[in-house]
Structure 1
Amino acid sequence: MWNSRPVVIVVAPTGAEVTRAQQPALPHTPREIADSALECVDAGASLVHIHVREPDGTPSANPLYFQETVDRVREGSDLITMVSTGGSVEMSIEERLTGLDAVPDLAGIETGSLNFGDDLFITSRADSFKVGALAAEAGVPLEAEVFDVGHVHSAVAMMESGQIAGPPRFNLVLGVPGGIGATPEALDAMVRALPRDANWTVTAIGRHQRRMLALGLLLGATGIRVGFEDNVYLRKGVLASSNAELVVAAADLARSLGREVATTEQAREILQLPRLARVGS
């Protein structure tokens, strides 16, 4: 049944592209990112997707920033921590891997390249294999971050060959210029390419977000993602005051469509992730 399980709400508070000129409340420092994530717990989030920034707001690959952010989140909550290995378009694959040093609960893995707006976002097969191998060595489960149907097929092949371990987890990203569009037909194509037992989250960019999240909820998506990484507006012309305000809106949307919102404990069970002790416990 499409509504048999509660939905996991993911918050992506920072990303690598949005600036404070676009969203004055964008968190930069590890403390700010962690505090923003912690504000989202009561709002309904059960997983935080982490990028880090330098103090001036530029995208960062500093492993100490990842470690501090993950530690602060764990000190203050049971939120599932997930680091990006996508980083930013300017980063080498080595820089994109530094978040694994924090041993988060989960990490993303890109399984293909694409035009990312006016930039090139390059992830070769060798890059994907490197992420898979290092994540396995660190004991960090993976979720495939897919921007087109071909990325889904590549991820499935890696899963079938054992290069991505564990149950199949996917984040379907819709509406990035250069990637698959944010349309019902595009989401249907992505979902049809998934393994039957896959867990899948819907991420949609900007003005397309609410419509595509709603469709994902009605199709039985495991999760939906919100946060300043993807969209800075609460509604047309109105900037969100915080990431937590976006999470509240997502939770309200889910409940209005007949979906319960997963607790962190339920999210760990759904995503088949081990329960980790908090820092200092």
Structure 2
Amino acid sequence: MQVGKPYFINLACTGVIPTKAMNSHVPLHYEEILADVAQALALGVQMVHLHARDNAGIQTADPAPYGRLVEAIRALPGGRELIVGVTTSGRQDAGFESRSRVLELDGLAKPDMASLTLSSLNFAQSASVNAPDTIRQLAERMATKGIKPELEVFDAGMANFAAVLLKEGLLKPPLYVNVLLGNVAGAQADLLQLAAILAALPHGCIVGVAGLGRFQLAANGLGLLAADGVRVGLEDNLWFDQQRTVLASNTRLIERVIAQAHLLERRLLSTTAIRDRLGMTS
């Protein structure tokens, strides 16, 4: 049990799927994403996970909008310390070349982290294709560029693959892991299934727990009970209530996690502290 232990929040603010038609609060444009990140910083959030869209609102692998966003975030109060991650999602394109372009950013545009999903998987209406060779290539490129993998784990098999990549030398400790619960084809948001994943992960991982859709609230609670922190945001869940009558915003979701943590007497880690745990320099 992690009651009383400091924790972190990782904000996944946009994602691949959400649109304005689904929720008017979804930040799709540069200024909107920047505004949500600024509010997250003011609330004490230490990490953000970024997706960018093209002019048609479609997820893009073009590194230019990511670089522009990262540079602007660095200019915000506290932005130099914030841990900024970018996606290498396989939901729109399974290929290594397009997905790795964002890893070429440098200078103030360079991200601290990049997502690395550890297997292919099905969502409710689409698939994320992640071939073993592509996963290895992305891990190798991240290592070369000095970008820490933001490992995405949806079941115990993916946790095992993290151990395989660690043994192969493609990952270096300490590992950062998002455990995502509640997907139709993955582990569900209950303590037993989370415990199985935590047991399968290599020793010493820094773990945040996320929940998809209506499972976000429960999964965040499990993360605060059993892990190092949580991932929260509109990428994973568009509704504030279980009845789906109140649209969520990133700010309200962050505030709800903070309220949950307060009941468990958990306070937010400083960004410097989580950077130190992850072996990062600001």
TM-score, scaled to structure 2: 0.91
257-266 or 12-21, larger mean C-alpha shift: 257-266
8 Å CA contact 1:147, 1:172 repeated in 2: yes
- Superposed, 1:112-131 pairs within 5 Å as 112-131=119-138
- Superposed, 1:1-281 pairs within 5 Å as 2-3=2-3, 5-76=5-76, 77=79, 78-102=81-105, 103-219=110-226, 221-236=227-242, 237-240=245-248, 242-275=249-282
Amino acid at match of 2:101: T
17-26 or 258-267, larger mean C-alpha shift: 258-267
Tell me how far apart the structure 1 counterparts of residues 186 and 26 of structure 2 sit (CA, whole Å). Answer: 25
How far does residue 91 in structure 1 lie from its aligned partner after superposition?
4.8
Tell me how far apart the structure 2 counterparts of residues 95 and 231 of structure 1 sit (CA, whole Å). Answer: 27
8 Å CA contact 1:204, 1:212 repeated in 2: yes
Report what 1:279 is aligned to: none
CA separation of 1:101/1:29 partners in 2, compared to 1, >3 Å: closer, same or farther?
farther
Tell me how far apart the structure 2 counterparts of residues 139 and 159 of structure 1 sit (CA, whole Å). Answer: 16
Q: Number of paired residues?
A: 273
C-alpha RMSD of matched pairs (Å): 1.7
CA separation of 1:74/1:268 partners in 2, compared to 1, >3 Å: closer, same or farther?
same
CA separation of 1:177/1:90 partners in 2, compared to 1, >3 Å: closer, same or farther?
farther
8 Å CA contact 1:28, 1:55 repeated in 2: no
Amino acid at match of 1:64: A
Tell me how far apart the structure 2 counterparts of residues 125 and 266 of structure 1 sit (CA, whole Å). Answer: 33
8 Å CA contact 1:44, 1:248 repeated in 2: no
Tell me how far apart the structure 1 counterparts of residues 179 and 264 of structure 2 sit (CA, whole Å). Answer: 20
CA distances 1:39-80 after superposition (whole Å, capped 9, x unpaired): 111223110001111133211111101101111111112321
TM-score, scaled to structure 1: 0.91
How far does residue 90 in structure 1 lie from its aligned partner after superposition?
4.0
**Structure 1 unaligned runs (5+)?**
276-281
Query: What is the SS of the residue equivalent to 1:59?
Result: coil
Identity, % of aligned positions: 31
How far does residue 185 in structure 1 lie from its aligned partner after superposition?
2.1
8 Å CA contact 1:70, 1:81 repeated in 2: yes
